[in-house]
Amino acid sequence: MDATTGFRLVIADDHPLFRGALGEAVARQFPEAELFEAGGFEDLQALLEREADMDLVLLDLAMPGVRGFSGLMYLRAQYPGVPVIVVSANEEPSVIRHCMEFGASGFIPKTSAVDTMRVAIAAVLEGRTWTPPDVDLSAGADKETKALVSRLATLTPQQVRVLMMLSEGLLNKQIAYELGVSEATVKAHVSAILQKLGVESRTQAVIAAAKMEGGSFSSTTG
């Protein structure tokens, strides 16, 4: 790939040192690339709304403002034309598989060597997908999990945000305030979420969303 190509990339991670290290790795391979940084999901949302024509997002799964795969789900729904590489400290094969099922173009473990990160980024910028070659992703999930993944993938960006807030225990009026919409709009979103997930209550919707996290994510998991 032509190293002089002026790609526009976002590094979204809440650890400044890691953002710096990843940014340096990208800059060495693509010296003409324009790099942006976000330390939380709200910062990332604002950045993507402000900056057009982004070529790639490097996304930490566990930054402030997201739970589990919700950040990835939102990006794939809101910006389907922008590829996303998940960069995470959680290297469980099931986590990597779910990331790819939710539309990620690649998965880079944070323990990867710099050269490996460069190879992965270059592959995705060329339109391919990349996952760690030493991780076996052939073992499929059970039917129930596959069905849940499919249902979650049908949520709109706003529905993903509402589900994220439901998972945080927010009430309809609090969600309405955060999103700048009416309570009636929030109720409509909740109803649509329940229908799409095939559940009958907001508690069941939260449980369904939590299943995708599998207890693997916490504030300390990158």
Order of strands across the sheet that contains 8-12: 34-38, 8-12, 56-59, 84-88, 106-109
pLDDT at 222 over 60: no
**What pLDDT digit, counting tens, does each position of 109-150 carry?**
999 988 999 999 999 999 999 999 988 777 666 677 778 888
- Separation CA 149–CA 166 (nearest Å): 18
> Under DSSP, is residue 102 helix (H, G, I), strand (E, B) or coil?
coil
pTM tops 0.85: no
Domains of the chain, start order: 8-125 (3.40.50.2300), 143-213 (1.10.10.10)
- Proportion of the chain above pLDDT 70, given as a percent: 91
Strand partners, 84: 57
- Separation CA 97–CA 4 (nearest Å): 33
